Structure 1
Amino acid sequence: MSFFDFSSAFLLQAKPVQDLQHGRVSAAELVQAVHEMLSSAGINLDIEKQSLLQTTLTLQEQLKESQAALLLEQEKCDIAAKEADTAKAAWSCRVCLNNEVDVTLIPCGHVLCRRCSAAVSRCPFCRLQVSKTMRIFRP
Protein backbone atom coordinates (compact mmCIF):
# COMPACT_ATOMS: atom_id res chain seq x y z
CA MET A 1 0.00 0.00 0.00
CA SER A 2 1.49 3.37 -1.00
CA PHE A 3 1.50 6.47 1.13
CA PHE A 4 -1.20 8.15 -0.95
CA ASP A 5 -3.50 5.10 -0.81
CA PHE A 6 -3.08 4.89 2.95
CA SER A 7 -3.49 8.62 3.54
CA SER A 8 -6.53 8.74 1.26
CA ALA A 9 -8.13 5.88 3.17
CA PHE A 10 -7.31 7.64 6.43
CA LEU A 11 -8.81 10.93 5.25
CA LEU A 12 -12.01 9.17 4.20
CA GLN A 13 -12.63 7.91 7.73
CA ALA A 14 -15.65 9.79 9.07
CA LYS A 15 -14.66 10.64 12.62
CA PRO A 16 -11.34 12.49 12.09
CA VAL A 17 -12.75 14.48 9.19
CA GLN A 18 -15.93 15.19 11.13
CA ASP A 19 -13.87 16.36 14.11
CA LEU A 20 -11.84 18.54 11.77
CA GLN A 21 -15.02 20.06 10.35
CA HIS A 22 -16.27 20.93 13.81
CA GLY A 23 -12.95 22.52 14.72
CA ARG A 24 -12.00 19.95 17.33
CA VAL A 25 -8.80 18.80 15.61
CA SER A 26 -6.34 21.08 13.85
CA ALA A 27 -4.70 20.19 10.57
CA ALA A 28 -1.34 19.87 12.34
CA GLU A 29 -2.80 17.43 14.88
CA LEU A 30 -4.34 15.36 12.13
CA VAL A 31 -1.06 15.26 10.18
CA GLN A 32 0.75 14.20 13.36
CA ALA A 33 -1.80 11.42 13.92
CA VAL A 34 -1.38 10.24 10.32
CA HIS A 35 2.39 10.29 10.74
CA GLU A 36 2.17 8.24 13.94
CA MET A 37 -0.19 5.71 12.34
CA LEU A 38 2.02 5.35 9.29
CA SER A 39 5.14 5.04 11.44
CA SER A 40 3.55 2.31 13.53
CA ALA A 41 2.63 0.51 10.28
CA GLY A 42 6.23 0.78 9.09
CA ILE A 43 5.52 3.35 6.38
CA ASN A 44 7.78 6.38 6.28
CA LEU A 45 6.13 9.77 5.82
CA ASP A 46 8.69 12.34 4.75
CA ILE A 47 8.51 16.03 5.60
CA GLU A 48 7.38 17.08 2.11
CA LYS A 49 4.42 14.71 2.16
CA GLN A 50 3.52 15.83 5.70
CA SER A 51 3.60 19.43 4.52
CA LEU A 52 1.43 18.63 1.51
CA LEU A 53 -1.07 16.78 3.69
CA GLN A 54 -1.23 19.65 6.17
CA THR A 55 -1.63 22.19 3.35
CA THR A 56 -4.43 20.11 1.84
CA LEU A 57 -6.27 19.90 5.14
CA THR A 58 -5.82 23.62 5.80
CA LEU A 59 -7.14 24.45 2.34
CA GLN A 60 -10.13 22.16 2.89
CA GLU A 61 -10.91 24.01 6.13
CA GLN A 62 -10.63 27.37 4.35
CA LEU A 63 -12.85 26.13 1.53
CA LYS A 64 -15.58 25.12 3.97
CA GLU A 65 -15.37 28.50 5.72
CA SER A 66 -15.50 30.32 2.38
CA GLN A 67 -18.48 28.28 1.24
CA ALA A 68 -20.33 29.08 4.46
CA ALA A 69 -19.52 32.79 4.07
CA LEU A 70 -20.66 32.69 0.43
CA LEU A 71 -23.95 31.07 1.41
CA LEU A 72 -24.52 33.77 4.04
CA GLU A 73 -23.79 36.54 1.51
CA GLN A 74 -26.11 34.92 -1.06
CA GLU A 75 -28.90 34.86 1.53
CA LYS A 76 -28.27 38.55 2.29
CA CYS A 77 -28.37 39.30 -1.44
CA ASP A 78 -31.67 37.45 -1.84
CA ILE A 79 -33.18 39.38 1.07
CA ALA A 80 -31.99 42.69 -0.38
CA ALA A 81 -33.43 41.81 -3.80
CA LYS A 82 -36.81 40.98 -2.23
CA GLU A 83 -36.77 44.27 -0.32
CA ALA A 84 -35.94 46.15 -3.54
CA ASP A 85 -38.82 44.44 -5.35
CA THR A 86 -41.18 45.33 -2.51
CA ALA A 87 -40.04 48.96 -2.56
CA LYS A 88 -40.46 49.12 -6.33
CA ALA A 89 -43.95 47.62 -6.11
CA ALA A 90 -44.93 50.26 -3.54
CA TRP A 91 -44.46 52.93 -6.23
CA SER A 92 -46.46 51.06 -8.86
CA CYS A 93 -49.97 52.29 -9.74
CA ARG A 94 -52.48 49.83 -8.29
CA VAL A 95 -55.00 50.51 -11.05
CA CYS A 96 -53.02 50.04 -14.27
CA LEU A 97 -49.98 48.27 -12.75
CA ASN A 98 -47.80 49.83 -15.45
CA ASN A 99 -46.85 53.33 -14.37
CA GLU A 100 -45.33 54.74 -11.21
CA VAL A 101 -47.62 56.71 -8.91
CA ASP A 102 -47.19 60.47 -9.17
CA VAL A 103 -50.55 61.91 -8.08
CA THR A 104 -52.34 61.82 -4.74
CA LEU A 105 -56.10 62.17 -4.53
CA ILE A 106 -57.58 64.72 -2.16
CA PRO A 107 -59.25 64.29 0.35
CA CYS A 108 -58.43 60.58 0.84
CA GLY A 109 -54.69 60.62 0.02
CA HIS A 110 -54.61 57.46 -2.08
CA VAL A 111 -52.07 57.52 -4.91
CA LEU A 112 -52.37 56.77 -8.63
CA CYS A 113 -50.47 57.50 -11.80
CA ARG A 114 -51.37 60.72 -13.64
CA ARG A 115 -53.14 58.83 -16.42
CA CYS A 116 -55.40 56.83 -14.09
CA SER A 117 -56.14 59.83 -11.85
CA ALA A 118 -57.35 61.82 -14.88
CA ALA A 119 -59.85 59.06 -15.67
CA VAL A 120 -61.59 58.90 -12.26
CA SER A 121 -63.92 61.22 -10.37
CA ARG A 122 -64.10 58.94 -7.33
CA CYS A 123 -61.21 57.20 -5.59
CA PRO A 124 -61.08 53.60 -6.88
CA PHE A 125 -60.05 52.39 -3.41
CA CYS A 126 -62.36 54.16 -0.95
CA ARG A 127 -64.95 55.60 -3.39
CA LEU A 128 -64.69 59.15 -1.96
CA GLN A 129 -65.39 61.99 -4.37
CA VAL A 130 -62.09 63.47 -5.62
CA SER A 131 -62.05 67.22 -4.98
CA LYS A 132 -58.61 67.77 -6.49
CA THR A 133 -55.31 66.03 -7.18
CA MET A 134 -51.80 66.89 -6.12
CA ARG A 135 -48.61 65.95 -7.91
CA ILE A 136 -46.15 63.95 -5.78
CA PHE A 137 -42.49 63.24 -6.37
CA ARG A 138 -40.43 60.24 -5.49
CA PRO A 139 -37.59 60.92 -3.02
Structure 2
Amino acid sequence: MYRAILIDDEPLARSLVKEYLSSHQDIEVITECSDGFEGVKAIMQLQPDLLFLDVQMPKINGFEMLELIEQRPHVIFTTAFDEHAIRAFEHHAVDYLLKPFSKERFDNSVNRFRTLASKAAVDSKAALDSKSAYSNG
Protein backbone atom coordinates (compact mmCIF):
# COMPACT_ATOMS: atom_id res chain seq x y z
CA MET A 1 0.00 0.00 0.00
CA TYR A 2 1.35 3.40 -1.00
CA ARG A 3 0.69 6.42 1.22
CA ALA A 4 -0.10 9.79 -0.35
CA ILE A 5 -0.52 13.37 0.84
CA LEU A 6 -2.55 15.95 -1.09
CA ILE A 7 -1.18 19.50 -0.86
CA ASP A 8 -3.30 22.13 -2.58
CA ASP A 9 -4.97 25.32 -1.36
CA GLU A 10 -8.08 24.56 -3.43
CA PRO A 11 -10.52 22.16 -1.69
CA LEU A 12 -12.16 21.27 -5.02
CA ALA A 13 -8.80 20.27 -6.50
CA ARG A 14 -8.09 18.01 -3.51
CA SER A 15 -11.57 16.48 -3.83
CA LEU A 16 -10.98 15.69 -7.50
CA VAL A 17 -7.67 13.97 -6.76
CA LYS A 18 -9.35 11.91 -4.02
CA GLU A 19 -12.16 10.99 -6.40
CA TYR A 20 -9.70 9.92 -9.10
CA LEU A 21 -7.66 7.97 -6.54
CA SER A 22 -10.71 5.98 -5.42
CA SER A 23 -10.12 3.56 -8.30
CA HIS A 24 -6.51 3.01 -7.18
CA GLN A 25 -6.91 0.66 -4.22
CA ASP A 26 -3.17 0.51 -3.54
CA ILE A 27 -2.88 4.25 -2.78
CA GLU A 28 -4.20 5.63 0.50
CA VAL A 29 -4.59 9.37 1.14
CA ILE A 30 -3.18 9.76 4.66
CA THR A 31 -3.80 13.51 4.98
CA GLU A 32 -4.57 16.71 3.10
CA CYS A 33 -2.88 20.08 3.48
CA SER A 34 -3.94 23.51 2.24
CA ASP A 35 -0.53 25.23 2.29
CA GLY A 36 3.16 24.45 2.03
CA PHE A 37 3.99 24.80 5.73
CA GLU A 38 1.27 22.29 6.65
CA GLY A 39 2.68 20.07 3.91
CA VAL A 40 6.23 20.15 5.28
CA LYS A 41 5.02 19.19 8.77
CA ALA A 42 2.84 16.38 7.42
CA ILE A 43 5.63 14.98 5.24
CA MET A 44 8.13 14.98 8.10
CA GLN A 45 5.66 13.30 10.47
CA LEU A 46 3.99 10.82 8.13
CA GLN A 47 6.74 9.94 5.61
CA PRO A 48 4.47 9.44 2.56
CA ASP A 49 5.46 7.66 -0.63
CA LEU A 50 3.75 10.18 -2.91
CA LEU A 51 2.71 13.84 -2.97
CA PHE A 52 0.09 15.42 -5.17
CA LEU A 53 1.40 18.97 -5.02
CA ASP A 54 0.12 22.31 -6.28
CA VAL A 55 2.66 24.97 -7.22
CA GLN A 56 0.86 28.24 -6.41
CA MET A 57 -0.22 28.30 -2.76
CA PRO A 58 -0.34 30.88 0.03
CA LYS A 59 2.67 31.38 2.32
CA ILE A 60 5.15 29.26 0.31
CA ASN A 61 4.81 27.66 -3.10
CA GLY A 62 5.29 23.99 -3.90
CA PHE A 63 8.91 24.39 -4.96
CA GLU A 64 9.85 26.34 -1.83
CA MET A 65 8.15 23.63 0.19
CA LEU A 66 10.22 20.89 -1.47
CA GLU A 67 13.42 22.80 -0.66
CA LEU A 68 12.61 22.37 3.05
CA ILE A 69 12.42 18.58 2.84
CA GLU A 70 15.50 16.35 2.99
CA GLN A 71 13.93 12.97 2.22
CA ARG A 72 11.53 13.75 -0.61
CA PRO A 73 8.75 11.40 -1.60
CA HIS A 74 7.75 11.01 -5.23
CA VAL A 75 5.88 14.10 -6.47
CA ILE A 76 3.11 14.53 -9.02
CA PHE A 77 2.52 18.23 -9.56
CA THR A 78 -1.09 19.31 -10.07
CA THR A 79 -1.26 22.93 -11.17
CA ALA A 80 -2.99 25.38 -13.47
CA PHE A 81 0.29 26.94 -14.64
CA ASP A 82 2.23 25.37 -17.49
CA GLU A 83 5.26 27.67 -17.09
CA HIS A 84 6.57 25.66 -14.10
CA ALA A 85 6.90 22.30 -15.87
CA ILE A 86 10.65 22.44 -16.53
CA ARG A 87 11.35 23.43 -12.95
CA ALA A 88 9.13 20.57 -11.74
CA PHE A 89 11.19 18.02 -13.65
CA GLU A 90 14.38 19.59 -12.29
CA HIS A 91 12.92 18.58 -8.92
CA HIS A 92 12.56 15.00 -10.26
CA ALA A 93 8.78 15.13 -10.57
CA VAL A 94 7.02 11.91 -11.50
CA ASP A 95 4.66 13.98 -13.63
CA TYR A 96 3.16 17.42 -14.14
CA LEU A 97 -0.62 17.50 -14.46
CA LEU A 98 -2.06 20.70 -15.87
CA LYS A 99 -5.47 21.58 -14.40
CA PRO A 100 -8.04 20.68 -15.47
CA PHE A 101 -6.74 17.17 -16.14
CA SER A 102 -8.68 14.09 -17.21
CA LYS A 103 -9.03 10.84 -15.29
CA GLU A 104 -7.09 9.09 -18.05
CA ARG A 105 -4.19 11.54 -17.75
CA PHE A 106 -4.28 11.20 -13.96
CA ASP A 107 -4.24 7.39 -14.19
CA ASN A 108 -1.20 7.54 -16.48
CA SER A 109 0.62 9.62 -13.85
CA VAL A 110 -0.26 7.19 -11.08
CA ASN A 111 0.96 4.28 -13.21
CA ARG A 112 4.22 6.13 -13.85
CA PHE A 113 4.57 6.57 -10.08
CA ARG A 114 4.03 2.83 -9.50
CA THR A 115 6.72 1.98 -12.04
CA LEU A 116 9.22 4.36 -10.42
CA ALA A 117 8.34 3.26 -6.89
CA SER A 118 8.72 -0.44 -7.67
CA LYS A 119 12.03 0.20 -9.45
CA ALA A 120 13.27 2.19 -6.45
CA ALA A 121 12.26 -0.67 -4.14
CA VAL A 122 14.13 -3.21 -6.29
CA ASP A 123 17.22 -0.95 -6.44
CA SER A 124 17.10 -0.44 -2.67
CA LYS A 125 16.80 -4.17 -2.01
CA ALA A 126 19.70 -4.89 -4.38
CA ALA A 127 21.83 -2.30 -2.59
CA LEU A 128 20.99 -3.84 0.80
CA ASP A 129 21.70 -7.35 -0.50
CA SER A 130 25.01 -6.18 -1.92
CA LYS A 131 25.98 -4.46 1.34
CA SER A 132 24.96 -7.54 3.34
CA ALA A 133 26.96 -9.86 1.07
CA TYR A 134 29.99 -7.56 1.33
CA SER A 135 29.85 -7.36 5.13
CA ASN A 136 29.30 -11.12 5.46
CA GLY A 137 31.97 -12.02 2.95
1 or 2 for the larger relative contact order (CA 8 Å, sep ≥6)?
2
More strand by share: 2
TM-score if structure 2 supplies the norm length? 0.31
TM-score, normalised on structure 1?
0.31
